[in-house]
Amino acid sequence: STLTIAVLVGSLRRDSFNRRLATALARLAPGDVEFRQLEIGDLPLYNQDDDANPPAAAQRLKSEIRAADGVLFVTPEYNRSVPGVLKNAIDHASRPYGHSAFAGKPAGILGVSPGAAGTAMAQQHLRNIAAYLDMPTLNQPEAFIQAKEGLFDDDGGIGPASREFLQTWVDAYVAWVRKHSGG
């Protein structure tokens, strides 16, 4: 059946490599799988005082995640960890306690960096978060992508050097979501 994947991009930068990667990955998905990038740039800083009356942007984010069959995180690494903008979005959608939008949602994690370590440490931190949020998370294949010349083709797709690998990754993630969302 048709699947919707909520995509959280951990960068607000206009020409973000991670946003470009998320957009290009969507094109590798089968026709009945929609990758929907969610807005997180309009969320205020999370404040637990507002749990009884969360900001509208947080309520919207939670309902979009709830409506999705899976959650794909595509994130840069900031200071060897998860960027604050993404952590803030995760904190919003995980609260109030007992009312997280993430529980049980099959997760995928990848990211791109100009650095050779390719977001490995940010991804590892995100795995720790996803475990606490009770998200079944795809372990293999891992995807640590370096932003090099030719990663993207002129059309905004994945360039030839990485296309086969990322197709394998997307296929594995879509199969993972189907397995954990009942088809």
Place of tokens 């293999």: 140
Binding flags for ligand FNR, 134-173, as an x/- string (CB under 6 A): ----------------------------------------
Q: Which span (47-55, 85-93, 112-120, 164-172) binds ligand FNR, by CB under 6 A?
A: 112-120
Do 72 and 22 meet the contact criterion of CB atoms below 8 Å apart? yes
Work out which of 2, 53, 79, 140 binds ligand FNR, going by CB under 6 A: 79
Helices vs. strands in the chain: H and E counts, helices first? 5, 5
Q: How far apart are CA 97 and CA 111, in angstroms?
A: 28
* Least distance from ligand FNR to the Cβ atom of residue 103, Å: 27
Q: Taking the C-alpha atoms of 128, 45, 80 and 37 in order, what is their torsion angle to the nearest 10 degrees? A: 70
Q: Nearest distance from residue 82's CB to ligand FNR, in Å? A: 10
Closest CB 61 distance from ligand FNR, rounded Å: 19
Cα 123 to Cα 109: distance, rounded to the nearest angstrom: 7
By CB under 6 A, tell whether 18 contacts ligand FNR: yes
Residue type for position 156: G
Of the candidate residues 36, 80, 99, 148, the single one contacting ligand FNR (CB under 6 A)? 80
Interface with ligand FNR: number of residues (CB under 6 A): 14
Backbone angles phi, psi at 2, to 5 degrees: -70, 140
